Amino acid sequence: MGLFGRGFRICGAALALVLAQSAIAAQEVRVAAVYFPPYVFKAEQHQARGLLADLLTALNQAQSQFSFVMVPTSIKRRFRDFRQQRIDLAIFENPGWGWQDVPHAAVDMGLEDSEVFVARAEPGRDQRYFDTLTGKRLALYHGYHYAFAQFNAEPGYLSKTFNASLSHSHESNLLMVLHQRAEIALVTRSYIGDFLERNRQFAGQLLISERADQRYRHHVIIRPGAPISPEQFSAILEMLRKNGQLTQIFARYQVAVSPGVTGSSIAEGATD
């Protein structure tokens, strides 16, 4: 009995040591959290919600080698934070959104969202209303790159060339259209459903364009020397794709999930 008890204590101690080592071995991976619903509604960790928070939870549950944590930043500041190694990853990005001169690796996530034109529904107004932007007041998201503007995000250019008002909120832009302070807002398709779900009094009051200003594939931007490699991130993401978790997370926001991506989706960005 004494030997059994001692053996049990030894096994228990060994198990505790293994668990402790596993916990220590988990490498922290810092992920940029930029306020941009529905991807990030709240950037603070204790209040985190949105698609990014849901994805990081799934990534953490899928493995124990890495611990993905959110680090609040902003659209403009994320480049500096990335260069200064305050963040390791920027998720739901595109290499063309200002990353051209920043050393990085880009991983195609196989997720597609789109930017659509939205106007107030009026009698006799149909899809032809979106054929031209000339003479219409636009409501745009500050810092965002639009295809119709040749991806020039400079506020002065957008205001002068397209009579645009810029805000830091899709909701503000939609409300500007609804209250006739702008004719057209450009909003991610993923956001519109969430907005109408929370504001059911506006059902039927919005005309949404069938054509998109742009369709874009979400990428992960990974800094050189990050704790996780592009190949490692891709492998974990594929686990979530195969078990259906990616579809479960993103389908409700109309973000298309492709059945799979290949290793060729990993591309190197600028180098110093």
Range of the domain at 42: 26-112+216-268
Where does a domain end: 215, 241, 258?
Answer: 215
Residues 106 and 228 in one domain: yes
Residues 178 and 154 in one domain: yes
* Structural domains in the chain (count): 2
Let me know if residue 53 belongs to a domain: yes
pLDDT at 13 over 90: no
CA angle 34, 40, 46 (to 5 degrees): 95
- Residue 64 CA to residue 57 CA, distance in Å, equals 12
Q: Is the dihedral of CA 188, 48, 246, 228 positive or negative?
A: positive
Residues 220 and 193 in one domain: no
Residues 35 and 61 in one domain: yes
Q: Report yes or no: 89 and 29 within 8 Å, Cβ to Cβ.
A: yes
Q: Give the per-residue pLDDT at 141.
A: 92
Residue range 148-181, pLDDT digits in tens: 999 898 999 999 999 999 998 899 999 999 999 9
% of the chain at pLDDT higher than 90: 69
Q: Give the per-residue pLDDT at 266.
A: 61
pLDDT at 247 over 80: yes
Residues 96 and 182 in one domain: no
Residues 124 and 211 in one domain: yes
Residues 207 and 120 in one domain: yes
Let me know if residue 9 belongs to a domain: no
pLDDT at 11 over 60: no
- Regarding predicted confidence, which is higher, 109 or 4? 109
What is the pLDDT confidence band of residue 115, given thresholds at 50, 70 and 90? very high
What is the pLDDT confidence band of residue 14, given thresholds at 50, 70 and 90? very low
Residues 206 and 171 in one domain: yes
**Preceding peptide of 224 cis, ω within 30°:** no
What is the pLDDT confidence band of residue 24, given thresholds at 50, 70 and 90? low
Q: 49: which DSSP letter?
A: B
- Among 39-48, 74-83, 189-198, top mean pLDDT goes to 74-83
pLDDT at 199 over 60: yes
pTM for this model (two decimals):
0.77
Sort 39 into a burial class: Cβ within 10 Å, 0-12 / 13-18 / 19+. buried
SS3 82: helix
Residues 136 and 205 in one domain: yes
Residues 104 and 118 in one domain: no
Let me know if residue 12 belongs to a domain: no
CATH code: domain of residue 68: 3.40.190.10
Indicate left, alpha or beta for 194 from its phi (over 0: left) and psi (-120 to 50: alpha): alpha
Q: Give the per-residue pLDDT at 36.
A: 86
Indicate left, alpha or beta for 151 from its phi (over 0: left) and psi (-120 to 50: alpha): left
pLDDT at 21 over 80: no
Q: Give the per-residue pLDDT at 197.
A: 84
